[in-house]
Structure 1
Amino acid sequence: MRAIRIFFIVILALVLMLLAAANRDFVTISLVPEALAQFTGGQWSLTMPAFVALFLAMVFGVLVGLVWEWLRESHLRSESSRRAHDLAQLQREVGDLRRVHTAPRDDVLAILDESAQRPAAAAGSGSALPAPR
C-alpha cells in the first residue's frame, strides 16, 4: 500500500513539474474588470507565471470544496455527537443497574441464599442453623 502511494505521489509530482515547465510565460490576472477598476482605485491586477496561476486556482478550488463539504456535513457531525452522548448516558445507566443488581441484598436474605446453596452435609456441621430434615 505504501509503495502504491509513493508511486502516485511521484506521478503527480512529474505531472506538476511538466505543467510548470510548459507554462512559464507571464500572464496578467485582473481581479476587477477594467470598467470597474477606475471606480475602485488602486492596482487590481497581478502578473505571474501561468503555472502559478493554475496552481493557485487548484488550491483555491480544493479549499472551497473542503469548506463546502464541511458545512454540508455539519448536521451529520451534530447528530453523531448527540448519539455519542446518548450512548455514554446509556452505558452509565447499564453500569449503575449492574452494580445495583450485584450488590448484596438484605443480610438475612444473603444468609438464607448462602445456606440454600450449600450441600446438606456441610450445612449441619458448624452452622448456627438447624440441619435440614
Structure 2
Amino acid sequence: MGAFDLLHIAGSSLGMHQTWLDALAHNIANANTVTGTDEDAFQAQMVVARARPDGGVSVGGIEYGDPEGRMVHSPDHPLADENGYVRLPDIDMSSQMSQLVMAQRGFQASVQVTKTAQDSYNAALQIGRS
C-alpha cells in the first residue's frame, strides 16, 4: 500500500456515503408523495455499494423500490379514484432513518480517517524538514 492509498480509499468511501445520504434524503422527502391509482408510486432509491480492487468502495448502482407502492383509502383526496383510494410509496420510515444514521456515521468515519491521514503525512513532512 502506497503512502497516499489511504486517502484514495477514504475518498472513495466519502463519495459512496454521500450518494447513499442523497438517496435517503430523496426517499424521506418523498415518503408521503401521493399519486393516483392509475400511476406508479414514488420508487425509493437504494444504493448498491461495490468493493474496489484497490480497497476502496464505489457505487455499484441504484436499485428502485416497488412502483406498486401501497393503496390507501383517502376518499377526500383530490387524486382519489372512484373507490376513494390513492397510491403512496412503500417506504418504511424507521428503516430509512436507521440507514440515515449508518450513512452519516460512515461518512463521519471517512472524514476522520482523511483528517488523521493528512495529520500523519504533515507530521512526516515536518520530520523531514528538521
Instruction: Name the TM tier (shorter chain).
Output: 0.3 to 0.5
Q: Identify the structure with the greater helix proportion.
A: 1
Q: Which has the higher contact order (CA 8 A, sep 6+)?
A: 2
Q: TM-score, normalised by structure 2?
A: 0.33
The structure with the largest alpha-carbon Rg is 1
